[in-house]
Every structure is written in C-alpha cells, then in structure tokens.
C-alpha cells in the first residue's frame, strides 16, 4: 500500500514540476471557441451608382417597337394588304406615280407599319400632337410603296381606301399627315380639302358601323391623298382651362429620361421634351410613364396616375424594373 501511495505521489510531483518549468500553462485550460466570422454582405448599388444616357433609353424603346410588314403586290388577288392588327389597304397601280410622273404597274412593294395602341405610339415615340395641340386619335400608319427600288407617290386623286379597326370609333375624324422635324420627331398637319373621284366622299374619314362576314368590328374608312405617315385624328374637344406640368428629377438628369403622358379619356399621347409638358387640360386623368436605361442596360421607370391641376410639379422618382414588367404595363393601356 505504501508503494502505491508513493508511486501516485511521485506522478503528481512530476506533473507539478513539469508545469512549473513550462512557459505555456494553457495546456490544462479549456480551449476557447473562436467567435463566428461575420458574413460580409456586398454593398447594394443605388441609382446614383449608375450612368444614364438618353440615347440608351431611346435604343431600349426601339428594341420593343413593332416592325413594319412588307408585301409584294403582284395582282388584284393580293389586295387588300392585311396588317397584323387588322388594317386593310386597297391601293392600285393607277393610284401610284413614279418619280418621273408616270403611272405604276404591277408588281410593286408595299411596306406598312400599324401604330394603333398607346403602347405602339409610346415605344415608337410617335405622340398624337399637332402644333402643340392634343389629338384624339384612331390610329397611326406608315405606308411606303416602291417599284424596282424607286419610291412611289400617291396621286392626289385616287381610289385608295384604308380601313382601320376601331373598338370605340369617334365621329368627326379627319386625316393628319406626318412630317419629320429636325429633332427626328413627327409633326402632324391636317390635310387640305381636295376633290375626289366619282362616288368617293369629300371627307377623308368615315366610320363604318356595319359588322359583316369580312368585317368583324367597327372601322375607320380612310380616303388618303398621300402616303407616308398618316394619322386618323381630330383636335381634342376640351373647353376648360389648360396648364402645363413641370417635371424635376434628382438623378438622373431629365435629358436622360424619356417621359410620356397618356390621356385615356382623350385618346391621346404626348411626349415631354425638357422639363415642361405642352398645354394639357385641367381636370383630366393622365398616366405618366418615364423610362431611363443605364449603360449596363438596367431599366428604371416611373409610373404615376394623376388628375391634372394648374401649375403642377412632378418629381420623377425612378425605380428599377424589368423590360417585361414595363412592357406588360404598356399593354394594359388602351384607347
């Protein structure tokens, strides 16, 4: 027994001597658990971290625009030209004139672009404004004819008929023709009175309320005196006070933002150039649509419904969106 006690005491004494001589006495202490490493989250970018350019916004809108349709008209059996949105065009060789003044013959090529919805007019940046005045529109068309690569022109007196589908046609429409301005915008001018061939009305636009086997909806029937940009419109009827909306933007600058005003009750679209809109009627509902695009092709938008009051100022507060979300919204707009 004494030997066992002595042996145990010897072991304990040895351990104490080792500990006394050791500089590191932590070997008998419990190990500390290291603190958890905090996850470093990436800093989220704000709108001010991006660079904007108005040309990028224009290019973005152009990506979504509808493309024109082209068809070779070889004979009467190829008429009417039927657009994807239901526009019908009856145009004959004798209606078309070559640059030297001679009449055209079959075949000839017809190019047509239909802008019949607010979405199409916004994306193509073709507002319905004539010399500063809002137009109530039934639709815009671009029509171009060529033969052997040469432009054809419509004779002033002709038998051409164009029919545009209309859900809720408005009486009293006339034709406006579009001319490109120096800033690449379209200015609309009302047509002048002209004679018609026998059987054709003096008015440039009629409303067809008949629904038959070929026509499943109401339509505007147009008798043009020229082709190119054609708008079926009339000046908006509003007798009340008018005002202008002023726009501001903290970032980016207004010149980098494309802004449009859609008037559902007036069936009209206006584009805002600079920081102030054109004259618009007080009390009307307007939908504001602003779009800006970054160099990285990130889309930002601002959408707001307001009732117009005098001397109004709207601050454009852009929010990140997607191309699909913006396009889905534009598709909800209708005349």
Better pLDDT: 204 or 10: 204
Rounded to an integer, the average pLDDT of 269-287 is 96
Enclosing H/E stretch for 64: helix 54-64
Residue 24 predicted with pLDDT over 60: no
- In eight-state DSSP terms, residue 62 is H
Q: What's residue 202's pLDDT?
A: 45
In tens, the pLDDT along 243-266 reads: 999 999 999 999 999 999 999 999
- In whole angstroms, give the CA distance from residue 113 to residue 228: 10
| Helix-, strand-, coil-residue percentages of the chain, each rounded to 5 | 20, 35, 45
Q: State the pLDDT confidence band at 27, using cuts at 50, 70 and 90.
A: low
In tens, the pLDDT along 28-66 reads: 555 666 777 667 666 678 999 999 988 888 888 888 888
- Percent of the chain past pLDDT 70, that is, above it, reads 81
Q: What's residue 193's pLDDT?
A: 52
Q: State the pLDDT confidence band at 221, using cuts at 50, 70 and 90.
A: very high
Q: What's residue 2's pLDDT?
A: 47
How many Cβ atoms from other residues are within 10 Å of residue 317's Cβ? Answer: 14
Q: What's residue 41's pLDDT?
A: 65
- In whole angstroms, give the CA distance from residue 309 to residue 285: 10
Q: HSE, CB side, 13 Å, CA atoms: give it for residue 107.
A: 10
The pairing of strands 246-248 and 313-315 is parallel
- In whole angstroms, give the CA distance from residue 11 to residue 278: 101
Q: What's residue 212's pLDDT?
A: 46
**Domains in the chain: ranges and CATH:** 66-235 (2.60.220), 240-331 (2.60.40)
Tokens 């000046």 sit on residue? 235
- Percent of the chain past pLDDT 90, that is, above it, reads 67
Residue 196 predicted with pLDDT over 70: no
Q: What's residue 173's pLDDT?
A: 94
> CA triplet 139, 316, 253: central angle to 5 degrees?
100
Enclosing H/E stretch for 230: strand 228-235
| Mean pLDDT taken over the chain | 87
Residue 331 predicted with pLDDT over 70: yes
Better pLDDT: 209 or 299: 299
Question: Omega into 252 within 30° of 0, i.e. cis?
Answer: yes
In tens, the pLDDT along 65-84 reads: 889 999 999 999 999 999 99
């Amino acid at each position: 027994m004494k030997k066992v006690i002595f042996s145990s005491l010897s072991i304990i004494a040895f351990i104490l001597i080792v500990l006394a001589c050791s500089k590191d006495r932590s070997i008998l202490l419990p190990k500390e658990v290291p603190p958890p490493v905090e996850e470093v989250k990436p800093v989220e970018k704000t709108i001010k971290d991006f660079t904007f350019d108005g040309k990028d916004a224009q290019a973005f809108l152009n990506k979504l625009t509808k493309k024109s349709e082209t068809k070779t008209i070889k004979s009467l059996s190829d008429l009417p030209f039927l657009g994807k949105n239901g526009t019908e065009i009856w145009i004959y060789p004798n209606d078309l004139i070559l640059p030297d003044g001679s009449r055209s013959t079959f075949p000839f090529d017809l190019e047509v672009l239909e802008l019949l919805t607010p979405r199409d007019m916004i994306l193509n940046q073709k507002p319905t404004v004539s010399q500063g005045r809002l137009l109530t529109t039934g639709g815009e068309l671009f029509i171009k004819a060529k033969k052997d690569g040469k432009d054809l022109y419509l004779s002033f007196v002709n038998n051409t008929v164009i029919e545009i589908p209309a859900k809720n046609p408005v009486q009293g429409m006339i034709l406006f023709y579009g001319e490109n301005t120096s800033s690449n915008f379209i200015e609309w001018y009302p047509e002048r009175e002209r004679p018609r061939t026998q059987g054709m009305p003096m008015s440039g636009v009629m409303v067809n309320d008949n629904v038959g086997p070929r026509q499943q909806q109401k339509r505007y029937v147009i008798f043009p005196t020229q082709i190119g940009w054609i708008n079926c419109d009339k000046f908006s009827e509003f007798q009340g006070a008018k005002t202008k909306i002023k726009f501001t933007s903290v970032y980016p600058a207004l010149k980098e933002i494309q802004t449009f005003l859609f008037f559902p009750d007036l069936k009209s679209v206006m584009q805002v150039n600079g920081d102030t809109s054109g004259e618009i009627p007080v009390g009307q509902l307007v939908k504001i649509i602003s779009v800006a695009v970054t160099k990285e092709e990130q889309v930002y938008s601002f959408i707001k419904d307001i009732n117009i009051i005098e001397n109004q100022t709207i601050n454009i507060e852009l929010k990140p969106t997607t191309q699909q979300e913006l396009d889905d919204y534009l598709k909800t707009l209708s005349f």
